Amino acid sequence: MKKLLAIYALLIGAFLLYLFYYQMHDSKENPWDNQGLRGEIGEKYVMVTFQAGIDYWKSCLKGFEDAAQALNVSVEFRGSTQYDAHEEMTVLEQVIAKKPAGIALSAINPQMLNATIDKAVDAGIPVVLFDSGAPASKAYSFLGTDNFNAGATAARKMAELLDNKGEVAVITSVNQLNHQERTKGFQDTIVRSFPNMRVVAIKDGKGDRVASREAAQEIMAKHPNLAGIFVTEANGGVGVGEAARYDGKDKKMKIISFDTDKGTLDMVREGTISATLAQGTWNMGYWSLLFLFHLAHGMVQPTNKQTANPLPLYVDTGITVVTEENVDYYYAR
Amino acid sequence: MAVEKLKWFEMNNLPIRYKLIIHFLLISILPSLGLAVLINWTVDQIIEKQVNENTLQIIGKVNGTLESYASNMQNISYFIAFDPGVKRFLLGGEENREDDHYEIRKFLQGFTTLYSEIAGILVVNNRGAYISNEMYARYPSNLTEETWYRAAVEGKGIFKIIGHPRGRNVTTHVNYKDDEVISVVRAILDPDTQNVLGVVLIDLKLRVIAETVKDVRLGKSGYLAVIDEYGENIYSPARPIIAKLPKEWFRDGNSGTFSKRVDGKKLQFIYRKSAFTNWTTVGVFSTNDSTMEVREIRFYVVSFVFFVCLVGIAASFYLSYSISRPIGQLMSFMRKAEQGDLAIRYRGDRMDEVGMLGQSFNKMLMQINKLISHAELQERQKREAELRSLQAHIKPHFLYNTLDTIQWMARKKGAEDVAEVVESLSRLFRIGLSKGNDMIPLEEEFAHIHSYLTIQKVRYREKLQYTLNMAPETRRLSVLKVILQPLVENAIYHGIKERRGPGHVWVEAGVSGGRLILRVGDDGAGIPEDRLKALRQSLQAVFPADDGKAMKHALSGYGIINVQARLKLTFGDAFGIHIDSEAGQGTTVTITHPIIADARPEQNEQG
């Protein structure tokens, strides 16, 4: 009987050893996906914008892609082809129907998309907003430029360029909250801080180079003493630059633009545009995906938006004034 | 030493218990082990084959996806060439028309709007002027000098995949690094002159390829990698098993499977070439790293074998124990019996072979006990009779020598009658001794009786008449010695002596019914009825009920009992003495004796 017990002990021991070995082997993860935060390649995060073709998003998308690379997840870029709120809503609906792991959204309009955003959040799809927000929606967070502050920065730079006096104008996209805020920041600062300055015109550039050029030409014709134009958007900046160049006022007219696309940078380098405001677009994309990843994996506390906000409600991705001196740093290397 | 070792292995020398255990273990565990090995082997084979096939299929699908991306790019390059604005730009002339450029940019923007996998599109004409939304030259130099431009020109309008751009004077505004994009180019030709008007350069984000390829997991740690026709890595995972896949390995055929030892690791390679992109997609995984399914099946098989071992060992131990234990018990009983303890009995109510063996063993022991006690009794009685006979004859031996002397002296002195008596007496004693033999020829027995009667005749004179009648065929038959004398003595003392006047004693020997019949009769007083009954009873009971007492009686006069006992002891119950008597008429005593032919040669009786 003792012998039998010994044999059994031996057998069970051997089996346990095998089990242990099996478990050990099993838990030995794949050597190339066990470092740090790692998602699944099947996990798809979608970036939804409007006017999807414009260069501005490319930097955001690059940030989004870089984060995806770091986290081993997939990303997709979708957006309305036109500046069309209904089209963006349709695109967003389509994206939600595909049940992605998360959506980073740039809202064309602060109100129009609220219902759709809420629908996505209710369906358990995390949504964060970047660049232009929709404050009344259930989206978890907004990452973008503090536009009022950006407008104020532009106003101070304009005052510096014009020695605190003269007539200025603003060309903006009137329907977009971020552009409205930039305009408001600019206007308020001029009114409050620089009594010798005056905003004489605010025109809609429709986010388009040609439309902005025409708007600028119109203003310049109307206000011959115009000393400076603040353009809240990059395409418009290039258009205004072209308008100033045609008029031969390029050296006198101070133009402050927004963003750092190639055309704008070239104009800053040649002096047509005096300064431009660089947004942290790469950061918007990159941190949006990180936020979404954390939400999708339940790595934030609490995960329920009703009780408390799990993520910073607002993240300022910062702004930098680009002039002739530092423009070279903004070209691609 | 070797012989001893051999002996150890000899099955026959093993205890039955171990034999049974080995037997059961062989039957239960060996087949299951064999089955396990077989299943393992088969599963390994099948799954490996399936994995290879699946991998090849997956690679085919991946190639298909990559081809579709490439053909998409090709279509875009054609589409760009169709645009009249682009055509004007390529043909040159009014290059500085800002609006024209603006229109082309808008047009190109449409592609990146629809295809987010495009990192950038660049259209360059044959004079080095270019239009692009995303890309621009790093420093002012003629882009037509670039290798990618020349490669496109060489292609003569055929779509060409450059792979990762290397050291080109073109950068993307959003800072895509060289190894994050794949470049494709196509020269746009003048349909009439076939001159190169310009080149379309499209950068495709590697991300889309990586997502397609990364999605594939081969076995546990396998992965897919893509290399181009020059052996350059298009895509490989962040930490590959093998850093560089030499293109020489994938030379034969469009697809294939082979294994190679790289840095001490045995790797399996499965590849398939895409004719359109000229890329080879390679599946790499370690051969040692079996797939999950195989591991799982192996786990179940091992668990099964373990279970079988567990149950099998218990069952074999129990079975062998249940068989060998009763045998062992029986064996220990037998050993005790062997050592002399015959009183031991096997106790058990088993009805199987062992139980039956036990019952037989018990019966055998009983039989042995009976036989032993029987033999002991017989032996003792024989010994005692012999002893008595010796005691009775040693002294007469000396006496008969003396008698011989007396006989000779009597003859010398002429006393013939004395001499005759003495001679008879002497013969009587000589036969009585008979060299210690139990059996003597009937002839001698009769001679003995004759001597005895001669002596008695001297004493009783005319009162005793006698007749000896021996059938001639009985002369040489052997009989127990001195069985007639006690009967004749009885006939004289109790028959003739008690009667008035002369009496007659006769002794006969004859064969009847296959038996030797000896009869001693007299016409004496006879035996009264009640005494005859008692006598017959004591004759009946002489053996084996009370041995000692009967013998004593025989000594003290009942010679007939002695004879009866000797007959029964020697020949069994079928033989013995029968008495017939009638008061006043006489007595006949009949001895039934087996016919025993005398084997001995006739010999002289020399004292």
Query: Tens of pLDDT along A204-257?
Result: 988 888 889 999 989 988 998 888 999 998 888 888 988 888 877 555 788 999
pLDDT of residue B134: 82
Pairwise pLDDT comparison (B435 vs B493), residue with the higher score: B493
Reported as a pLDDT band with limits 50, 70 and 90, residue B324 is confident
Residue of B116, B117, B290, B319 best to disrupt the A interface, most CBs of A under 10 A? B116
Q: Which residues of B touch A209 (CB under 8 A)?
A: 102
Q: Spell out the residues 6+ positions from residue B464 whose beta carbon is closer than 8 angstroms to its own.
A: B453, B456, B457, B492, B496, B502, B503, B505
pLDDT of residue A93: 92
Residue B533 near chain A (CB below 8 Å): no
pLDDT of residue B131: 87
pLDDT of residue A27: 52
Residue B102 near chain A (CB below 8 Å): yes
Contact yes or no for B174 and A4 at CB 8 A: no
Residues 199-238 of B with CB under 8 A from A: 205, 207, 210-211, 214-215, 217, 220-221, 223, 237-238
Question: What are residue B510's phi and psi, to 5 degrees?
Answer: -155, 170
Across B131-153, average pLDDT? 84
Across B418-423, average pLDDT? 83
Q: Which residues of B touch A53 (CB under 8 A)?
A: 109-110, 112-113
CA–CA distance, B564 with B575 (Å, rounded to integer): 9
User: Residue ranges of the alpha helices (H) in B178-291?
Assistant: 206-214
Q: Of A26-30, B178-182, B569-573, give the lowest mean pLDDT range.
A: A26-30
CA–CA distance, B339 with A199 (Å, rounded to integer): 133
CA–CA distance, B481 with B562 (Å, rounded to integer): 12
pLDDT at position B518 over 60: yes
Percent of chain B with pLDDT over 90: 5
What is the residue-averaged pLDDT of chain B?
Answer: 81
Name the E strands within chain A.
44-49, 74-79, 102-105, 127-130, 141-144, 166-172, 197-204, 226-231, 254-258, 275-279, 314-316, 319-322
Across A120-140, average pLDDT? 88
pLDDT of residue B388: 76
Pairwise pLDDT comparison (B15 vs B8), residue with the higher score: B15
Percent of chain B with pLDDT over 70: 88
Contact yes or no for A25 and B309 at CB 8 A: no
Q: Which residues of B touch A54 (CB under 8 A)?
A: 109
Per-residue model confidence as pLDDT tens digits over B82-136: 888 888 888 876 555 666 788 888 888 888 888 888 888 999 888 888 888 888 8
Cβ atoms within 10 A of the Cβ of A329, count?
Answer: 12
Q: Strand, helix or coil at B501?
A: coil
Contact yes or no for B173 and A55 at CB 8 A: yes
pLDDT at position A259 over 90: no
- Pick the closest to residue B489 from B443, B557, B399, B424 (CA basis): B557
Reported as a pLDDT band with limits 50, 70 and 90, residue B393 is low
Burial tier of B426 (Cβ tally within 10 Å: 0-12, 13-18, 19+): buried
pLDDT of residue A47: 93
Q: Which residues of A touch B237 (CB under 8 A)?
A: 32
Mean pLDDT is highest, among A210-214, A297-301, B497-501, for A210-214
Per-residue model confidence as pLDDT tens digits over A135-152: 888 888 999 888 899 999
As given in the structure block, the two tokens for residue A202 are: 């605010």
pLDDT of residue A127: 92
Rg (CA), chain B: 66
pLDDT at position A189 over 90: yes
pLDDT at position B409 over 60: yes
pLDDT of residue A293: 92
Contact yes or no for B174 and A11 at CB 8 A: no
Cβ atoms within 10 A of the Cβ of A282, count?
Answer: 20
User: Residue ranges of the alpha helices (H) in A123-254?
Assistant: 147-161, 177-193, 209-222, 234-247
Size of interface A-B (CB pairs under 8 A): 88
Q: What is the DSSP string of B42-55?
A: HHHHHHHHHHHHHH
Q: Of A71-80, A192-201, A262-271, B541-550, give the lowest mean pLDDT range.
A: B541-550
CA–CA distance, B163 with B182 (Å, rounded to integer): 5
Q: Which of B110, B173, B210 sits opposite A332 (nearest CB)?
A: B173
As given in the structure block, the two tokens for residue B310 are: 């567990």
Burial tier of B14 (Cβ tally within 10 Å: 0-12, 13-18, 19+): middle
pLDDT at position B41 over 50: yes
pLDDT at position A313 over 80: yes
What is the residue-averaged pLDDT of chain A?
Answer: 86
**Look-up: residue for tokens 């219902």?**
A115
pLDDT of residue A171: 93
Percent of chain A with pLDDT over 70: 92
Contact yes or no for B306 and A41 at CB 8 A: no
Across B130-159, average pLDDT? 84
Per-residue model confidence as pLDDT tens digits over B333-351: 888 888 888 788 877 777 8
pLDDT at position B556 over 50: no
Contact yes or no for B221 and A69 at CB 8 A: no
Reported as a pLDDT band with limits 50, 70 and 90, residue B547 is very low
CA–CA distance, A129 with A285 (Å, rounded to integer): 10
Cβ atoms within 10 A of the Cβ of B375, count?
Answer: 10
pLDDT at position B491 over 80: yes
Q: Spell out the residues 6+ positions from residue B239 whose beta carbon is closer than 8 angstroms to its own.
A: A31, A32
pLDDT of residue B545: 43
Q: Of A190-194, B78-82, B409-413, B423-427, give the lowest mean pLDDT range.
A: B423-427
Residue of B nearest to A246 (CA): B98
Mean pLDDT is highest, among B194-203, B543-552, B559-568, for B194-203
Question: What are residue A257's phi and psi, to 5 degrees?
Answer: -110, -175
pLDDT of residue B395: 61
Per-residue model confidence as pLDDT tens digits over B236-288: 887 777 777 787 788 777 888 888 887 777 788 888 888 888 888 888 887 76
Beta strand B181-189 pairing with B196-205: antiparallel
Residue A261 near chain B (CB below 8 Å): yes
